[in-house]
Amino acid sequence: MGIVNVTPDSFSDGGRWADRDSAVAHGRELLAHGADILDIGGESTRPGATRPLVAEELDRVLPVISALVAEGAVVSVDTMRGEVAAAAVEAGARLVNDVSGGLADPAILGVVARSDASYVAMHWRAHSHHMQSFAVYDGPGGVVAAVRAELADRLAAIEAAGIPAERVVLDPGLGFAKTAGHNWELLGAIDQLASLGRPLLVGASRKGFLGALLADEAGSPRRVDGREHAHAALVALLAERGVWGLRVHDVRATTDALAAWAALRDAEEAR
């Protein structure tokens, strides 16, 4: 899943593709590099981000979705809002990628249920401006048990809203109300999340926990544009664990890593 941020303030590439033409061109580039899905988003969810007005979000994403769908792309809309999801599906989006899992706007579940779109539900506790104050997992089993239980609750609510389970993908929500340590714990227990019985989407690309891992001797995190090698290694390990989807900024680096992983797997199977 290649990321197309049509925003001025995303953490990794804010403003680079904030207008229709540059966003569509970037989408074409990601497809050429091997993306299967393009995830079009008009709201930054980086820590501390301010939400745009609904009209702003619609103006950002709809022209890009329409153009890329017209060129044959499989498009996902990255939104928490039912109004935006409805308009995006009408414009041809085939997935609704909701980082709030239906908590920010419960109406979004009805929108998806009335369509034939698939739905990605991420683990989420609060909006970006204060989400890190919710990064507390003190119960038995810690962050893994809590995320699994909360995703199970969302899955039940999604199915109750009329969305068939076979159209649902789950996302552990790396970086959302989570510390770097929490993110690594979740990645290390991906099989426990997979036991919920739904495909998993993982978005680790360029996130702060990779910057912290690669910090310099003074403790300063590695810059966003210097985290791709670590992410490529992580991609191959997640593929080994059967993750359904990878939400990434650098599609070429990701497909290269997957090609190397697949070649090694094939060689092992041929022995």
Q: Kindly state the tokens that stand for 154.
A: 């969302």
H/E element, 76: strand 75-78
Q: Kindly state the tokens that stand for 240.
A: 């080994």
Contacts 24+ apart (CB under 8 A), 255-264: 255/33, 255/34, 256/232, 257/232, 257/233, 260/236, 261/235, 261/236
Q: Which of 247, 252, 265, 271 is catalytic?
A: 247
Question: If you search the block for the tokens 């579940």, which residue do you land on?
Answer: 109
247 is an active site residue = yes
Q: Which of 207, 223, 227, 265 is catalytic?
A: 207
Q: How far apart are CA 118 and CA 76, in angstroms?
A: 9
Asked if 121 and 158 touch (Cβ cutoff 8 Å), the reply is yes
Q: How far apart are CA 157 and CA 168, in angstroms?
A: 12
CB atoms within 10 A of CB 201: 23
207 is an active site residue = yes
The burial class, CB within 10 Å (0-12 / 13-18 / 19+), for 239 is: middle
Question: If you search the block for the tokens 């076979």, which residue do you land on?
Answer: 166
What are the catalytic residues?
A: 207, 247
